[in-house]
């Protein structure tokens, strides 16, 4: 009896090595994998984040001490900041920047100590798949805007007021801030919750359900909402996590998060939504759920049609 030969393409799998890695297991795909490495990445990322916060806000304090007029202006903004009034440009900017700084912190920490190549934090391709991201953004824009139009239409038919607040007196400034800051804020949250946390859990637990579901409570706690609002956020987090696993990258989740938040804050600036609302309505929850389901459906269908990679072949890690 002759001994079967092993193809050179299958040689890496001869010792029970996986043939490929899904997104949540990419931490194990790296040659520098160690079970404790994600914990070190977290510690370093927190250090970077605190350093970024200090470098951002310390100059403001110094300027306020040197120039009393600036200090007085900051004092006037304290009430809005204490109340987390997101219709106030200063408060909005501070809140967005405090979240955005998580993005360079986790990217730098991962670049220094994370899996190789560092782009595995983004997708199985080891990078952001820009064409796929653009496509997902277009789909998100169509689905989210369509859902909101339906919601406004139903509200008008049932006699609900179209305007729920006054048009922001700083409308132009708010719209500029929304367009400049919200995309990075949404991306920061996705890189933390659907990137770092999913891959950290996936390093230790094989089944994707753990990586998808375990970060959800943390994501909900990070949003100060009442019951219906928490349900809404939880459904979004589950859908975003599942899409990340199903499409092999963060592109779809980031696109949906960006488009959703940009529309909410832009409409809020026009007085069509209350950006400070801490809860949702049953109707709002139904609309949000419908938008999420439709987006998931069209993205998965498009991903299958385009053969978007869901896993990273084992041998690809030796070529980076």
| DSSP assignment of 256-291 | HHHHHHHHHHHHHHTTSS-TT--S--HHHHHHHHHH
Q: How far is 269 from 86, CA to CA, in rounded Å?
A: 10
This prediction's pTM: 0.89
Scan for tokens 């801030």, then name that residue. 177
H/E stretch holding 236 reads: helix 227-247
Model pLDDT, residue 283 = 84
Percent of the chain with pLDDT over 70: 86
Q: Which of 14-18, 123-127, 195-199 has the lowest mean pLDDT?
A: 14-18
Structure tokens at 220: 């909900």
CA–CA distance, 154 with 159 (Å, rounded to integer)? 9
pLDDT reported for residue 11 = 36
CA atoms in the 13 A half-sphere facing the CB of 298: 16
Average pLDDT over residues 238-249: 98
- Report percent pLDDT > 90 for the chain: 64
H helical segments located in 67-196: 68-82, 89-100, 102-113, 130-157, 171-190
Mean pLDDT of 268-283: 86
Nearest to 250 by CA among 142, 107, 148: 107
CB-based contact 92:174 (threshold 8 Å): yes
For the stretch 33-83, pLDDT in tens is 889 999 999 999 999 999 999 998 888 778 767 777 666 666 666 655 556
* pLDDT (mean) for 121-141: 97
CA distances (Å), origin 205, targets 86, 191, 202, 212, 213: 38, 19, 5, 11, 12
Mean local confidence (pLDDT), 280-298: 92
At residue 8, the pLDDT reads: 38
The mean per-residue pLDDT over the stretch 239-243 comes to: 98
Query: What is the predicted pLDDT for the residue at 279?
Result: 76
Q: To the nearest whole number, what is the mean pLDDT of the chain? A: 87
What pLDDT was estimated at residue 6?
38
CB distance 101 to 181 below 8 Å: no
Average pLDDT in the 216-233 region? 91
């Amino acid at each position: 009896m002759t001994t079967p030969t092993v193809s050179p393409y299958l040689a890496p799998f001869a010792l029970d090595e996986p043939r490929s890695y899904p997104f949540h297991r990419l931490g194990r795909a790296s040659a520098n994998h160690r079970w404790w490495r994600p914990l070190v990445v977290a510690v370093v990322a927190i250090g970077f984040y605190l350093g970024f916060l200090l470098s951002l806000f310390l100059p403001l304090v110094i300027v306020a001490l040197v120039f009393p007029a600036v200090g007085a202006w900051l004092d006037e903004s304290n009430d809005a900041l204490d109340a987390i009034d997101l219709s106030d440009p200063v408060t909005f900017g501070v809140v967005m920047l405090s979240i955005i700084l998580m993005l360079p912190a986790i990217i730098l920490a991962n670049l220094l100590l994370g899996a190789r190549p560092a782009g595995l934090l983004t997708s199985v391709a080891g990078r952001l798949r820009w064409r796929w991201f653009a496509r997902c953004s277009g789909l998100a824009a169509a689905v989210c805007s369509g859902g909101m139009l339906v919601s406004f239409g139903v509200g008008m038919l049932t006699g609900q007021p179209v305007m729920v607040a006054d048009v922001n007196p700083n409308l132009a400034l708010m719209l500029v801030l929304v367009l400049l800051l919200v995309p990075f804020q949404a991306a920061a949250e996705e890189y933390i919750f659907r990137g770092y946390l999913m891959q950290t859990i996936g390093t230790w637990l094989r089944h994707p359900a753990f990586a998808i579901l375990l970060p959800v409570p943390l994501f909900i706690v990070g949003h100060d909402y009442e019951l219906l609002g928490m349900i809404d956020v939880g459904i979004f987090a589950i859908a975003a996590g599942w899409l990340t696993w199903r499409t092999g990258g963060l592109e779809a989740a980031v696109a949906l998060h960006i488009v959703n938040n940009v529309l909410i804050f832009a409409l809020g600036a026009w007085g069509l939504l209350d950006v400070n609302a801490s809860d949702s309505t049953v109707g709002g929850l139904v609309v949000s759920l419908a938008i999420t389901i439709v987006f998931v459906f069209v993205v998965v269908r498009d991903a299958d049609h385009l053969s978007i990679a869901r896993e990273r072949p084992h041998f690809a890690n030796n070529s980076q």
